[in-house]
Each structure stands twice: as C-alpha cells, then as structure tokens.
C-alpha cells in the first residue's frame, strides 16, 4: 500500500499531528493533552536551548524578551536557527518510531508545516495518520490573544496573523503538500556561528578590523537558496580558521570543515561602512596565515529579513 506521495507505507501506525493556531490561543496546552507517550516538537523549546535556559517553560518571560528583541530588530537569524533545529529533531523522532510526533508551532500557512509533512510521507507514514489539530483563535479576541501570548507579539501583528489564518480557510493535508515549498523563501544556507564562536572569532582575528567598520561576523555561506541535502539541517559542525584577508571593502577569514559553493570558504568579519557588502569578501586576493583555531556553528537556512 502506498501513501499520497506514492511511497510505500512502512510506518503504518505512527502518527504526525500538526498543531495550528494564533499565539495565545491555547495551542500548546492542547498539544500536551494529545501527546500521551509521544513527543512534542516546538520551536519555542529550541529557542529555550539556544538561549541557555535550563527550564524554558518556567522562564517564559525570557522567551518573551527573545521575541520582543527579535520583533524590534528584525533580526531573524536565531529564529531561523531554531526552526532548522526543530525540524531536525522532529525528523529524528519520526525515524526512531516515536508516536505521536506533534509539531507545536503556529503553522498558520500551509508552507510552514510542509517540510514536516513531506518528511513523514517520504519515510513511509500513512497520510491517514497525519492530522491537523486546528485551535485557531481559541475562541478569543485579537486583544485577548495579544495580552495572553508569551512571545511579545503585538496586537497589530496578531490581527495580521488572524487575517492570514482566515485566508487559508482551513488547513488540510492537500493544502500543505501542494503549498509552495518553504525553502523557496530561503535566501541562503550557511553554517551559522553560535554566540561564543562569534566572540572567539573577533578576539582572535578582530585586530585587523579598521576603525569604524561594521561587524558582521555571523556565518560561512554554503550556497544561495536552500540546502540540497536536508538531512544535515541543524547539524553542529566545527570550522578551522587558518587565514585572514583584507580588502578595501571587507575583512574575512578562510575556514575548513564544511563544503561551500564559494571558491574560498570564508567567514566575513566586517565590512566597510562606505558601501561594503558581505559578498566583497569573495574579491579578497591577499591572505595571510594565522595560528589556527576553531569555531562552531549549526547548518541553517536563512530567510530574508
């Protein structure tokens, strides 16, 4: 017997549950009631681990701070990293035979949960065992949702999410499968440095940065667009830094340890405020050896800001 993707059903008894709802609607509480002997995968929990909180759910104020700062700055790097890790963790649970696997994200639009659903179907889930648990607004008003949610999502943003939710007119498996792949919204794939490695990189190589230049020490680009091999999404890797180079527009270090579409795998450290771009590191021709050291990062896909 085959599933909707014409893949032989090899996991006939495993369940995947996709939660969908506006922040503050009670979606996570419903997920806990459904989990039984399974597991809940939530980007919120991943954010908790990224932020080094020992007990995320007892420290939701810190989570609110995370989302408030993200909303103010528009910097989605850490959120993208969290989504990548959550997908990797969910795929592992499905491969390990855990049931049910519950995806407790907002999942308002069909594309948000597509990677989870396609992964399940490709590994042999029966499409009849993939269900949508639609909490919606939880019977609450936009104002109440804005007051209840723990992410610091404003009333204006909540109202926008409600409009988006209503425009879908009910999330279904077919809508998810036929949605435009989320990867099509990915600007680039990279090894995204953790905060300790960013600091370490600047301590070791920052001496060459001209005064006034903009610090951008964040990642090593793997390729433009999404990863071709999704199995490595969320993987932690170690990169060896061994050379440093400077041009009129950018300063960067050469790294080894992971493949890159760039001729010279590198991390841009800083750029000239007078028109410098990260891509200017590709034009650096003069490199000098430095005492090698390591930095760590996570294989990630980055959406446009």
* Amino acid 234: pLDDT: 85
CA distance 294 to 253: 12
Q: How confident is the model at residue 73 (pLDDT cuts 50, 70, 90)?
A: very low
In this structure, which CATH number among 3.10.20.30, 3.30.1340.10, 3.40.50.300, 1.10.357.10 belongs to the domain 16-182? 3.40.50.300
pLDDT of 17 above 90: yes
CA distance 74 to 68: 10
Any idea what the Cα angle at residue 239 is, between residues 236 and 244, rounded to 5°? 150
pLDDT of 62 above 80: no
Query: What string of DSSP letters covers 182-206?
Result: GGGG--EEEEEEPHHHHHHHHHHHG
The CATH number that domain 186-302 falls under is 3.90.1740.10
pLDDT of 152 above 80: no
CA distance 141 to 169: 18
Q: How confident is the model at residue 79 (pLDDT cuts 50, 70, 90)?
A: low
pTM of the model: 0.59
Q: What is the mean pLDDT of residues 167-195?
A: 85
* φ/ψ of residue 274, rounded to 5: -90, 60
pLDDT of 124 above 90: yes
Q: How confident is the model at residue 77 (pLDDT cuts 50, 70, 90)?
A: low
Q: What is the mean pLDDT of residues 69-95?
A: 72
Q: Where are the domains of the chain?
A: 16-182, 186-302
């Amino acid at each position: 017997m085959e599933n909707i993707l014409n893949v032989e059903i090899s996991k006939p008894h495993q369940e995947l549950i996709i939660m969908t709802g506006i922040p503050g609607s009670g979606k996570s509480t419903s997920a806990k009631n459904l989990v039984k002997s399974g597991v809940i995968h939530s980007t919120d929990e991943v954010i908790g681990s990224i932020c080094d909180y020992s007990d995320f759910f007892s420290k939701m104020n810190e989570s609110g701070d995370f989302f408030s700062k993200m909303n103010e700055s528009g910097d989605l790097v850490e959120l993208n990293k969290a989504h990548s890790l959550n997908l990797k963790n969910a795929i592992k649970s499905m491969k390990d035979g855990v049931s049910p696997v519950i995806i407790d994200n907002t999942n308002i639009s069909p594309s948000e949960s597509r990677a989870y659903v396609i992964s399940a179907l490709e590994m042999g889930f029966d499409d009849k065992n993939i269900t949508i648990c639609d909490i919606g607004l939880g019977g609450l008003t936009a104002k109440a949702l804005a007051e209840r949610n723990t992410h610091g999502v404003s009333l204006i943003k909540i109202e926008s999410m409600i409009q988006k939710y209503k425009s879908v007119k009910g999330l279904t498996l077919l809508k998810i499968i036929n949605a435009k792949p989320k990867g099509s919204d990915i600007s680039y794939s990279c090894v995204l440095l953790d905060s300790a490695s960013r600091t370490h990189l600047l301590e070791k190589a920052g001496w060459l940065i001209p005064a006034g230049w903009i610090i951008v020490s964040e990642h090593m680009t793997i390729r433009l667009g999404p990863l071709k091999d999704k199995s490595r999404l969320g993987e932690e890797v170690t990169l060896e830094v061994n050379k440093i180079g400077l041009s009129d527009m950018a300063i960067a270090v050469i790294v080894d340890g992971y493949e890159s579409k760039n001729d010279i795998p590198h991390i841009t450290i800083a750029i000239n405020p007078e028109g410098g771009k990260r891509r200017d590191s590709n034009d650096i021709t003069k490199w000098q050896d430095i005492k090698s050291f390591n930095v760590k990062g996570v294989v990630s896909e980055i959406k446009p800001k």
